[in-house]
C-alpha cells in the first residue's frame, strides 16, 4: 500500500520517472491490481504523455483489468452512508444530495473554490 500511495503521488509531484520505477515493482508484486496501472496512467496524463496513457489502457484491456468503482461516504445523523457517483438507489438519496448541496453552498460562501485541473483517466 505504501508503494501504491507513493505511485499515486507521482502525478501530483510530476515524478513520472519515479512512477515508472515504482510501477515496475508493483506490476510484479500485484499484477492484477488495476489501481497501479491507473496511477501510472494518471501520472502520464498529467505530463501530457498520451502515447503512454494509450499503451497502458491497451495493456489493461489485454490483461482483462478494469478500473474499480470508487465510492464516497457521508455522515447524516450519526450514520454513515456509502454511495458511488451517479447512484440514485440509496433510500436516502434526496437527503444526501440535499446535504451535499448545502455543504457546497456553505463552502463557497466561505471562499472555497474547487481546484479542477486534472481528472483520473478511466480505462
pLDDT at 54: 96
**Does residue 50 belong to any structural domain of this protein?**
yes
| 30 in a structural domain | yes
Count the domains in the chain.
2
pLDDT given for residue 15 in this prediction = 93
Domain of residue 21: give its range.
2-63
Return the SS3 of 79. Answer: strand
Mean pLDDT by groups of 10 residues along the chain of 123 residues: 89 93 95 93 94 95 88 85 81 87 94 70 46
Encode burial over 47-79: b for 16+ CB neighbours within 10 A, e otherwise: beeeebbeebbeebeeeebeeeeeeeebeeeee
Q: Are residues 55 and 79 in the same domain?
A: no
Cell of 72: 464516497
Distances (CA, A) of 55 to 16, 52, 66, 67, 103: 15, 5, 15, 15, 40
Instruction: Check residue 115 and give its pLDDT.
Output: 72
* Same-domain pairing of 59 and 77: no
Instruction: Please check whether residues 86 and 105 belong to one and the same domain.
Output: yes
- Answer yes or no: do 51 and 93 share one domain: no
- 17 and 41, same domain (yes or no): yes
With respect to residue 122, please indicate whether it lies within any of the assigned structural domains. Answer: no
Shared domain check, 54 and 11? yes
What is the structure's pLDDT at 83?
A: 78
pLDDT of residue 70: 77
Based on the domain organization, do 45 and 87 belong to the same domain?
no
Identify whether the C-beta of residue 69 lies closer than 8 Å to the C-beta of residue 38.
no
56 domain-assigned: yes
- The pTM score is 0.62
The pLDDT, as a whole number, for residue 41 is 94
Amino acid at each position: 500500500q505504501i508503494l501504491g500511495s507513493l505511485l499515486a503521488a507521482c502525478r501530483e509531484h510530476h515524478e513520472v520517472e519515479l512512477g515508472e520505477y515504482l510501477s515496475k515493482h508493483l506490476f510484479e508484486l500485484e499484477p492484477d491490481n488495476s489501481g497501479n496501472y491507473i496511477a501510472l496512467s494518471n501520472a502520464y496524463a498529467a505530463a501530457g504523455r498520451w502515447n503512454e496513457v494509450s499503451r497502458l489502457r491497451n495493456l489493461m484491456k489485454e490483461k482483462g483489468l478494469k478500473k474499480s468503482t470508487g465510492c464516497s461516504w457521508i455522515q447524516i445523523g450519526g450514520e454513515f452512508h456509502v454511495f458511488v457517483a451517479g447512484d440514485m438507489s440509496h433510500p436516502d438519496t434526496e437527503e444526501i444530495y440535499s446535504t451535499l448541496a448545502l455543504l457546497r453552498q456553505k463552502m463557497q460562501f466561505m471562499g472555497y473554490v474547487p481546484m479542477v485541473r486534472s481528472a483520473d483517466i478511466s480505462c
